[in-house]
Amino acid sequence: MKESTKYVMDKITFSLIELMRKTPLGNISICAIIENAEVSRNSFYRHFQDKDDILRYYISSETEQWLEQTGINYLNVPSPQEYIVFLLKHLYEYRDIIDLLIRDNKMNLLEEEFDRRFNAILSSITDPWHIAFTIGGFYKLFCYWAKTGYEKTPEEIAAYIK
């Protein structure tokens, strides 16, 4: 991706997130996003179809950056418990954004990213049923933790998984 393209996409993305911190997503217009980002309507529609598309871009970009920095994935950790701790600690850093996704009923966008990433690493070594079970387990575990206010530590949660 060209640097100028990324710059515009990031401006639009951070504009939406800034607005979401003040206003529910359903009340934010495309006009408000582009005005806040100081970009044109053409720039918006050149890169995104709608507000969900912006959030998908954000989730995917942050995930990609995290995976590149750590080099860790589900297949190269010794146990599911260790991966749970690793994953939950990462997601906890984004709790302010995740709380906005929960508030605005957009956790399905995070679930899409879970699906995409786990399918990419597991599809060549196991069957779709096992992949669905794995994704569902990690995703639902995280959602429950987030919706209950992150009360337990990642280590405490991992200890429940045997």
Residue 76 has pLDDT above 90, yes or no: no
What six digits make up the tokens of 50? Answer: 């709608």
114: Cα separation from own chain's centroid: 8
Tokens of 16: 């939406």
> Scanning the structure block, which residue is given the tokens 């954000």?
58
Mean pLDDT of the chain: 91
* CATH top class, domain 1-48: mainly alpha
Between these two residues, 41 and 67, which has the higher pLDDT value? 41
pTM of the full predicted structure?
A: 0.88
Helix/strand number for the chain, H first, E second: 9, 0
* Domain locations along the chain: 1-48, 55-160
Binned at pLDDT 50, 70 and 90, residue 74 comes out as: low
Burial class (CB in 10 A: 0-12, 13-18, 19+), 109: middle
DSSP per-residue codes, 70-117: H---GGGSS-HHHHHHHHHHHHHTTHHHHHHHHHTT-HHHHHHHHHHH
